[in-house]
Amino acid sequence: MSSLTVTLVQANLYWENPSANLSMLEEQIKSAGKTEVIVLPEMFSTGFSMKPETLAETMDGPTVQWMKEMATSHKIIITGSVIIRDNEQYFNRLIWMLPNGQYGYYDKRHLFAFAGEDKHYASGSRRLIAQVKGWKINLQVCYDLRFPVWARQQPTENNAPEYDLLIYVANWPERRNHAWKTLLQARAIENQCYVIGVNRVGDDGNGIHHSGDSMLVDPMGEVLFTQANEAVVKTVTLEKSALEQIREKLPFLRDRDPFSIE
């Protein structure tokens, strides 16, 4: 059974300032030490902005190019979401960048209408489950956390779990951090998987405060790491054998309801 080393980067983002954020995050990545996956917050180059008309980049733009350079030079996988313009639409797009420069992406499905995100961005329609070292990783963005069906383990042909690790990247406000922490634990328990939530800290350009509360939760819902109110770079190693033991001892996923998402 393999292990997987993941680094959570909880950062105080500069508001709508990609060059400052990329420079800051580059230093954070350098400080992470030996790792295999770096997880950055939602909209890590800008903060959670509703100005895609002025801030959006293409998939050939400087932020994606920076991700390629970081992944290649450090021989790591980097993930986080970016404001992307594609086919005359704007997306809150999570990118899963590999060390060889290849990538997958996931467009945020659930747009945060309370802040007007649905007025500025197009919704995604498909999930992304990446694979590395025998681990299957379900990648989602912030508000998706409130919709358990979208994260639910779906039955496979041999009835095996669909994924092993669920990652949320976020700009989740401090005023609703109880929901953030509770739902991260709930997603871990109901899906019998590890869950990582990486949030930002500090005030954004709208005066909204973020307490971070980035978190690693084990398949039983136990919090293995969390940090509030300050920037932090935390590297953790997950053991596949521990996950398999829990699933074997408590085979709850065998009783799940079959369904499909359209």
Q: Which of 16, 36, 117, 142 is catalytic?
A: 142
Token code pair at residue 246: 């829990």
Distance CA 48, CA 41 (A): 10
Active site residue 193: no
List all residues 6 or more positions away from 235 whose beta carbon is below 8 Å from its beta carbon: 5, 6, 7, 8, 32, 33, 34, 35
- Number of Cβ within a 10 Å radius of residue 45: 29
Q: Rounding to the nearest 10 degrees, give the CA dihedral for residues 131, 197, 44, 14.
A: -160
Q: Which of 16, 36, 68, 108 is catalytic?
A: 108
Token code pair at residue 181: 């922490």
Q: Which of 16, 42, 117, 174 is catalytic?
A: 42
Token code pair at residue 73: 């030079």
Angle at 129 between CA 240 and CA 42, to 5 degrees: 100
Active-site amino acid positions: 42, 108, 142
